[in-house]
Amino acid sequence: MKEKYENQLFYHMMTALISGIFGFCMIAISDAILQKPRKLTNEEFELMKQHTIKGGQIIQDTFGRIDNVQFLTMAYDIALYHHEKWNGKGYPYHLKRKEIPLCARIMAIADVFDAVSENRCYRQALPLDECFEIIANGAGLDFDPLLTEVFLDIKDQVIEIHQHDRHDQEYDNHMKTLENQ
């Protein structure tokens, strides 16, 4: 069973990252909230939580006519359900366990890992060991325990992808600096 998920986990993470779905939902949230350097107020957090529903609507409205139904369904499910938690305490619909589509359960892990391993306007990135610990501690609460185990088993691949992505970002930032000189 575990081996079955290893390939799916890697496939869904890469598909979502490459296709831009990973941050697509945030288009619907104002920059004032996204770039706020302090903790969000309760009202701002409620607005932020709407990115799942709005992201799903944007995907349906924008890509609803594409022929690849499987991709459209996966993109919609990721957008709408990636903040649902294994224990049912997520949002927007408080789904739990296998009520949450597989691609969204996978993306929940990738989304949290991305959130804690990258710099944000309100804090620095955490060390990678700490990021993996956060994921491990969420097994059975926030995340599907089997998928969490698989994610931790492919730790070396995740680190390699993370470092490659960070290198690309550093290169892009360097090129922008040169352009502005």
Tell me the C-alpha to C-alpha distance, in Å, between residue 75 and each of 27, 47, 61, 89, 119: 15, 21, 12, 22, 25
pLDDT at 179: 64
Q: What angle do CA 24, 28, 29 make, to 5 degrees?
A: 105
Residue 67's SS3 state is coil
**Residues recorded for the chain:** 181
Q: What is the pLDDT of residue 149?
A: 93
Q: What is the full per-residue pLDDT of the chain (181 aa) written as tens digits?
A: 556 555 555 555 555 554 455 566 677 787 888 878 888 889 988 888 888 888 888 888 877 777 777 878 888 898 899 999 999 999 999 999 999 999 899 989 988 998 899 888 778 889 999 999 999 999 999 999 999 999 999 898 888 887 776 655 554 554 555 566 6
CATH number, span 2-32+51-179:
1.10.3210.10
pLDDT of 6: 56
pLDDT value, residue 48: 83
